[in-house]
Structure 1
Amino acid sequence: MRVLITGGAGFIGSHLAEAYLGRGDEVFVLDDLSTGSIDNITHLRGRKGFHYSIESVHHAPTVAELVDQCDAVFHLAAAVGVRLIVESPVRTIETNVHGTEVVLAAANKKKKKVLIASTSEVYGLSADVPFREDGNLVLGPTTKGRWSYACSKAIDEFLALAYWRERKLPTIIVRLFNTVGPRQTGQYGMVVPTFVKQALTGRPLTIFGDGRQSRCFTHVRDVVGALVGLMDHPGAVGEVFNIGSSEEVTIQALAERVKERTGSNSPILHVPYEQAYGEGFEDMPRRVPDVGKVAGLIGYRPSRSLDAILDDVIGFFRDAPPAGARAGDLPA
């Protein structure tokens, strides 16, 4: 099999590339390195069947050429992270919507199967927890830029499903819930690597808000296994799937567990949302997925507990800290 991974130098994309190379497949990576890093794929360069292009997913000729060479496409390229969303809303919307338009248009010419990576953010302020794929999406007002990311990814979903229904392009949608693991950076607001780096360097663990907001964290290798399984299964086409874990934890409890597992004496510091992201910022109080649909189709089950995930991330930063893990890169 020959697969194209847009955003393949990113955190999830690089692990997905590893998985396909491990199967003996051929992998083509497209990434402009805006949020990804060449360091994530350096160890893959030179491996048989691995190819990469440093170019934007907006560059239609490059996308078309790569799509033509491949059997399937994973569209992971996107603007990610709460901090990037708040600070660069135009970039967020244009990257997410236009990039998806380019990929779907190119894939449609040869009817190549496309998996679109969406996000738990699309559920917005919904209180119908755990979130089901057929549940209502409840977004905040357009005057609050916080919701531009969720809205742009929802548009991606609508567009991908429209291509399937109207033009018979085989598409799959996955909504990812807080994927974590080695090689993830906290640069754009990802909480686990941020807490781990703060704990290991003796800095305060900074919690935005009161810490009662809760999340469910999933190891990147479990997520990658689900992505591969869905791409291989013909029953996934035209469907939307949650991928995540049901082990819920508050951010306050997460900070305490990171301290415990690192042996850190770092204090825990609460920072008001207004100070971190500006006035009027809204957060999702809970993010808990119902994963019954993906479990029923491909037998998906998260294999790692939260403690095991934290230990893996802690070990990664202790043993081989990348450039992004230097103390000078941590938030003040």
Structure 2
Amino acid sequence: MNQLAEQPVHALITGGAGFIGSHLAHFLLEKGQHVHIVDDLSTGSITNLDELRKNPNFGHTIADVQDEPLMAELVDRADVVYHLAAAVGVRLIVESPVRTIETNIGCTEVILRLANKKRKKVVVASTSEVYGKNDSVPFLEDHDLVMGSTSKARWSYACSKAIDEFLALAYHRARGLPVVVVRLFNTVGPRQTGRYGMVLPTFVRQALMGQPITVFGDGKQSRCFSYVGEVVECLYKLAHCPEAEGQVVNVGSRHEITIEDLAVLVKELTESTSEIVKISYDEAYAEGFEDMPRRIPDVSKLEGLIGKSPQMDIAEIAKSVIQHYRER
């Protein structure tokens, strides 16, 4: 494990009103940093900023990250940029493929171009989706990416994030820009919305309201869920680890659970009378929708760089989400 570099004092978070971004902002403020977020609120929520705005070291701008003159000023003031702005959620991706591609690639182009002018460090949030149909689990960062057909809009997200990665690494290799690419694996926790197909908050909401808990497909597909508090700590440590520059790093948990078992767990923890109902992918999304049966990260690189990886058990994570929904 390497020691953290001297801490930057001013962080810029794109997509900062979103689920992960708002948790990261809170974490950085707790570290005594100055934090400014920019978000167009297309998927983020202004209510995620309510507590943050009480801190004098916090600022925010409601705007599109592709507003280059504005972003030039914000990037110039920052020591490190956490680039989280992206189209999120399977449902949004399937329903709005143009927005997915334009948002993901366009925003990343702007951030990297501006950061390169002043050599500002950038942490680029990517996704486990880029592994696509690769079935060699656990996934290593240098595994091949196996994408589906371009005729299926479902893969536009994975492809656009892969382009983000190529571009970030090209800036590092060709121009020396200090960048870190993080592939996030199913980050969950309080404040995450099920609006765009996020499975855990959807299950919790359905269970608490006595509605059918809807499992897509046969429910045998498995995922590794990571608690957002642990994930943002990893992002922070990677941002301050010189050895992580120019690297792609998986950030996720090793603990695997099937979606069917997750539904059963949520039903038990909420003491719900809801029925667990299976719905075909064709009915849930679109005809011919493809999903990955397993998505498990190899996090040995992460642990080698910062000495830790997300460890919280899915039952404890689910309890935190249930408590959040009950408080609301």
Please classify the TM superposition score into its range, dividing by the shorter chain length: over 0.9
- Asked if structure 1 preserves the Cα contact closer than 8 Å seen for 2:252 and 2:309, the reply is no
> Can you list the C-alpha shifts for 1:1-32, whole angstroms capped at 9, x where unaligned?
10000000000000000011101110010000
Match of 2:165 in 1: 157
Q: CA RMSD in A?
A: 0.6
Q: How far has the Cα of 1:315 moved from its partner? A: 0.6
Match of 2:263 in 1: 255
Match of 1:177 in 2: 185
Q: How far has the Cα of 1:303 moved from its partner? A: 3.4
Match of 2:103 in 1: 95
The partner residue of 1:275 within 277, 283, 292 is: 283
Match of 1:307 in 2: 315
The partner residue of 1:197 within 205, 216, 219 is: 205
- Asked if structure 1 preserves the Cα contact closer than 8 Å seen for 2:19 and 2:44, the reply is yes
Does 2:78 match 1:74? no
Q: Which runs of 5+ in 2 are unaligned?
A: 1-8
How many aligned positions are there?
320
SS in structure 1 of the partner of residue 51 of structure 2: helix
Distance (Å, rounded) in 2 between the aligned partners of 1:93 and 1:191: 23
Match of 1:125 in 2: 133
Match of 2:238 in 1: 230
Amino acid at match of 1:276: A
Q: How far has the Cα of 1:62 moved from its partner? A: 1.1
Which runs of structure 2 are paired with 1:53-68 in the superposition (5 Å)? 53-68=61-76
Amino acid at match of 2:48: N
SS in structure 2 of the partner of residue 157 of structure 1: helix
Does 2:39 match 1:31? yes
SS in structure 2 of the partner of residue 45 of structure 1: helix
Amino acid at match of 1:145: A
Distance (Å, rounded) in 1 between the aligned partners of 2:198 and 2:54: 30
Distance (Å, rounded) in 2 between the aligned partners of 1:162 and 1:301: 27
Distance (Å, rounded) in 2 between the aligned partners of 1:10 and 1:122: 21
> Can you list the C-alpha shifts for 1:166-218, whole angstroms capped at 9, x where unaligned?
01111100000000001000000000000000000000000111101100000
Q: How far has the Cα of 1:304 moved from its partner? A: 1.2
Q: TM-score, normalised by structure 2?
A: 0.97
Match of 1:11 in 2: 19
Q: Which runs of 5+ in 1 are unaligned?
A: 322-332
- Asked if structure 1 preserves the Cα contact closer than 8 Å seen for 2:189 and 2:320, the reply is yes
Q: How far has the Cα of 1:280 moved from its partner? A: 1.0
SS in structure 1 of the partner of residue 150 of structure 2: coil
Q: How far has the Cα of 1:145 moved from its partner? A: 0.7
Match of 1:330 in 2: none
Q: How far has the Cα of 1:301 moved from its partner? A: 2.7
Distance (Å, rounded) in 1 between the aligned partners of 2:123 and 2:107: 14
Amino acid at match of 2:99: R
More contact order relative to length (CA 8 Å, sep ≥ 6):
2
How high is the sequence identity, in percent, across the aligned residues? Answer: 62
Does 2:265 match 1:265? no
Amino acid at match of 1:52: H
